[in-house]
Chains A and B, each alone.
Chain A
């Protein structure tokens, strides 16, 4: 499900033609999500803003690095932002141990500034993701958060939770598969049959 995908692709085409207003519109649609994700990972407003800037400048300089066949523009922007934020977090951790942001419950903030059609699609998807996360066992949710929002490998997670090496691996795998089943039921992700 890619809310606003046709409109997004038209905007990317304009970005490729060096239209700054098109980038501004994309910024208006997705900056809140990218910033929210970066802030969730880094816990620092200034560092999160740097990530947002890098993400949108990457789209501006290399619009061809986004492939619409591989997913929505929003997912691509969030993917680039996630990777960059995790890089920053891992470098920080290598140099100095710092308290990481609390991996609290994800929240959804209703956003009245996005186009109504997009808002409905994104809000529905966000609520579905939130419900799905609440329906998987807490220990599976915890390790997925540690991997996804704190950039930890299954080895680091096992060490931190003082559990056998394979336990974190298994919990991540089972948690993600359970999430997929829940999100497939809501039509948020494609059925596996459609992919094979």
Chain B
């Protein structure tokens, strides 16, 4: 491209009105031409002050708190995958039912019931105890996950940390997300929002992509408000990964991506 051609396009270039190829040609010329670079800087001044013509709007106070918490290494509480929030009250309800006084009343009631019904009731009690233990285990697991996520995000927000943004595909145009990580490490936290509800028996699965390789990074469920979170464990340093994606898979996940892709983001430039 000649200087005359660049001079004709420079205003379009600084406000982003050039198609990609034309923009690259102008940028390439500017790399080698100080005279045109000076024109570009001057034209950019006008683009910069255009922003001053826009109404200033106060964002929510919560945003300021969130940003400051992130830079102070204390991530704001993040939503967890799955429905862990109601579980404590369910647990309390179940534990409350299984108080020491209850077994006595249950035994008395069972003695008055035909044998078949007693067996059915005993089976229900066994199922309930198993559910209590599962719920306790799930709660402990959720707590450990949230702690791990907080640690990773805290490090990512500190010096040397990194983030990669994800956008929704046609399957989830409103979705967006962020992968928080330390470049040389193999753990990261994926935080997403705006995901649609999946049909029963399906789960979101995260994939780390390098070349043709698709590495399973874990599955997660969507909260009722469309948010989700996953602690990602990678077989390689995160900054060696090229991209991260989220697909819909059957419950339990898949060995390879099978379902539709809902989100995608680039981790490093190739």
Q: Chain A interface (Cβ within 8 Å of chain B)?
A: 18, 20, 23-24, 27, 31-33, 35-37, 39-40, 45-50, 52-54, 56-57, 60-61, 70-72, 75, 78-79, 82-83, 86, 88, 91-92, 95-96, 98, 106-109, 111, 122, 125-126, 129-130, 133, 144, 147-148, 151-155, 157, 168-169, 172-173, 176-177, 179-180, 183, 188-190, 192, 195-196
Given contacts A53-B67, A70-B41, A172-B12, whether A88 and B47 have CB atoms under 8 Å apart is no
Pull 16 A–B residue pairs with CB atoms less than 8 Å apart, ordered by A.
Answer: A33-B56, A48-B59, A61-B163, A79-B48, A92-B173, A95-B173, A106-B53, A109-B55, A129-B52, A147-B12, A151-B16, A154-B18, A172-B17, A176-B47, A177-B11, A190-B42
The reply to whether B53 and A129 contact each other, CB–CB distance below 8 Å, is yes
What CA separation (Å) do A111 and B44 show in the bound complex? 26
What CA separation (Å) do A57 and B162 show in the bound complex? 10
Closest approach, in angstroms, between the C-beta of A181 and any C-beta of chain B?
10
The reply to whether B57 and A32 contact each other, CB–CB distance below 8 Å, is yes
The reply to whether B57 and A36 contact each other, CB–CB distance below 8 Å, is yes
Q: Which residues of A contact B14 (CB under 8 A)?
A: 176
The reply to whether A95 and B168 contact each other, CB–CB distance below 8 Å, is yes
- CB within 8 Å of A: which of B155-169? 157, 159, 161-163, 165, 167-169
Closest approach, in angstroms, between the C-beta of A140 and any C-beta of chain B?
11
Q: Residue-by-residue, is B45-87 near A (CB-CB < 8 Å gives 1, otherwise 0)?
A: 1111111111111111001101110111000000000000000
Contact of B96 with A by CB under 8 A: no
Residue in A57, A71, A72, A83 with the greatest tally of chain B CB atoms within 10 Å:
A57
Contact of B15 with A by CB under 8 A: yes
13 extra interface residue pairs, beta carbon distance < 8 Å, beyond A126-B53, A148-B17, A196-B38: A27-B64, A37-B54, A45-B60, A47-B176, A50-B176, A56-B67, A88-B176, A95-B173, A106-B53, A153-B19, A172-B12, A190-B45, A195-B39
What CA separation (Å) do A153 and B12 show in the bound complex? 8
Contact of B170 among A48, A96, A109, A169 (CB under 8 A): A96
Closest approach, in angstroms, between the C-beta of A183 and any C-beta of chain B?
6
The reply to whether A195 and B71 contact each other, CB–CB distance below 8 Å, is no
The reply to whether A57 and B17 contact each other, CB–CB distance below 8 Å, is no
Contact of A179 among B12, B46, B55 (CB under 8 A): B46
Closest approach, in angstroms, between the C-beta of B69 and any C-beta of chain A?
10
The reply to whether B170 and A95 contact each other, CB–CB distance below 8 Å, is yes
Contact of B209 with A by CB under 8 A: no
Q: Which residues of A contact B66 (CB under 8 A)?
A: 53
The reply to whether A148 and B55 contact each other, CB–CB distance below 8 Å, is no
Closest approach, in angstroms, between the C-beta of B10 and any C-beta of chain A?
8
The reply to whether A57 and B41 contact each other, CB–CB distance below 8 Å, is no
What CA separation (Å) do A48 and B12 show in the bound complex? 25
Contact of B43 with A by CB under 8 A: yes
The reply to whether B15 and A148 contact each other, CB–CB distance below 8 Å, is yes
What CA separation (Å) do A33 and B52 show in the bound complex? 8
The reply to whether A75 and B53 contact each other, CB–CB distance below 8 Å, is no
Closest approach, in angstroms, between the C-beta of B63 and any C-beta of chain A?
5
Q: Which residues of A contact B18 (CB under 8 A)?
A: 153-154
Q: Which residues of B contact A133 (CB under 8 A)?
A: 53
What CA separation (Å) do A14 and B208 show in the bound complex? 36
Q: Which residues of A contact B9 (CB under 8 A)?
A: 169
Residue of A whose beta carbon sits closest to that of B70: A57
Residue of B whose beta carbon sits closest to that of A71: B48
Given contacts A32-B58, A96-B173, whether A71 and B49 have CB atoms under 8 Å apart is no
The reply to whether A130 and B53 contact each other, CB–CB distance below 8 Å, is yes
The reply to whether B50 and A147 contact each other, CB–CB distance below 8 Å, is no
What CA separation (Å) do A78 and B43 show in the bound complex? 16
Contact of A106 among B48, B54, B68, B165 (CB under 8 A): B54
The reply to whether B169 and A95 contact each other, CB–CB distance below 8 Å, is yes
What CA separation (Å) do A98 and B174 show in the bound complex? 11
Contact of B31 with A by CB under 8 A: no
